[in-house]
Amino acid sequence: MDNNDIHKCVRLLEEIRDNQKLQLDRQAEVFALQRDQLAIVQKQAERAERIQDRAEQLQASSAQLVGGARRAVTIILPLVIALIIYLSWLIFRH
């Protein structure tokens, strides 16, 4: 190998080194973006969990309201029927 070949090899090795450094820099950028995306996904998951918890609380409250309404209907409906029967008896007895 002569001096010119040595310079070509050195330049080639320098280009390889520079390209590897560029590739490592790009990988670092990609990793940073992935970390940012992961943080966003984690925040969204936490928000979804909070929303789910709130929905469960609302469903429990609704179930209590429906249960109370059913009990009220079982008490009020027979009373209303009895009053209608009594009113009908009062109207038709004359």
- Reading the block at residue 24, the tokens are 């490592």
Q: How far apart are CA 82 and CA 94, in angstroms?
A: 19
pLDDT tens for 38-90 read 999 999 999 999 999 999 999 999 999 999 999 999 999 999 999 999 999 99
pLDDT tens for 62-76 read 999 999 999 999 999
Note if the pTM is more than 0.75: no
